[in-house]
Amino acid sequence: MRLAPRAAHGATAESPAARLAITVIALLFLALFLVVPAVAVVAEAFSEGVRVFVAAITEPDARSALQLTLLAAAIAVPLNMVFGLAAAWAITRFHFRGKGLLVTLIDVPFAVSPVIGGLVFVLLFGARGAFGSWLDAHGIRVIFAVPGIVLATAFVTFPFVARELIPFMQALGSDREEAAVILGASGPQTFLRVTLPSIKWGLLYGVILCNARAMGEFGAVSVVSGHIRGQTNTLPLHVEVLYNEYSFAAAFAVSTLLLALALLTLLAKRFLEWRIERQLARTNGIRERAR
């Protein structure tokens, strides 16, 4: 959560010159690394005219890449929502052996390079992988096919929901759930009527972040995809293919789709942050006043 900006007036206040310098550095950095590239993407996308832009994003391969990206996210995100909820619930509400290990393992996809994440699936399900011959015998394709892309996407995005929910659920405490159970609520009733309403904004926040990463993932998906145009290319992979073919305008046009998705995500994220701050202020406000 944000720190109070009022801190600047306290004992740690810097001189006006220093404050100006620090702010300018931060803004310059932001401009150089975020604004300039974003503007460049859009400018490049329209450099050969609107018609080229529209053609690039409506041609069948681009449409199929967009569909695949949305499909992978549509499967991976709900999966990780369920996993994240279960993991956060277990970690914040139960006491069990190996909990520390679970907390650490959740972060593996953050720690490991996505390429390795992709390679793991190739090693497991590829033609020469552990389950490769069995899958082959049953005519199931995982690697260089849609299931592999979904798996790789799910792998790189699985920490988001749990990571967001764990501190949130810890801050809320378990009093309300205990109150519900004592009042006679069953497990599902407690979850649906008490837990879910109180964590919904935190959950949604995690889902949004998870979704952003799912749609933008390149490394892991690239390894398992095989880059078959119109079949196993997601939007980021399609951009790479176009770029390698020197179709710069088309590559940037497709990039604007990803950029638009990112901006939508940021807006949703900002709105949710505001809701969460309000909710936590409300629940903790009671405790503060209580003291």
Binding site for another protein (CB under 8 A): 1, 91-95, 99, 170-171, 173-176, 178-186, 189, 193-194, 197-198, 279-280, 282-291
- Using CA atoms, how far residue 147 sits from 2, 36, 177, 286, in Å, is 40, 36, 38, 48
- Closest by CA to 251, choosing from 262, 241, 261, is 241
> What tokens were used for 180?
């519900």
Nearest approach in angstroms of CB 206 to another protein is 17
For residues 185 and 194, what is the distance between their CA atoms, to the nearest angstrom?
A: 10
Pick between residue 60 and residue 175 the one whose CB is nearest to another protein.
Answer: 175
H or E segment and range at residue 123: helix 114-125
Pick between residue 55 and residue 181 the one whose CB is nearest to another protein.
Answer: 181
The vertex-228 CA angle with 61 and 56, nearest 5°, equals 20
Nearest approach in angstroms of CB 36 to another protein is 36
> What tokens were used for 143?
């690697």
Pick between residue 49 and residue 173 the one whose CB is nearest to another protein.
Answer: 173
Pick between residue 166 and residue 221 the one whose CB is nearest to another protein.
Answer: 166
Nearest approach in angstroms of CB 184 to another protein is 5
Pick between residue 107 and residue 178 the one whose CB is nearest to another protein.
Answer: 178
Nearest approach in angstroms of CB 109 to another protein is 23
For residues 93 and 199, what is the distance between their CA atoms, to the nearest angstrom?
A: 14
Nearest approach in angstroms of CB 201 to another protein is 11
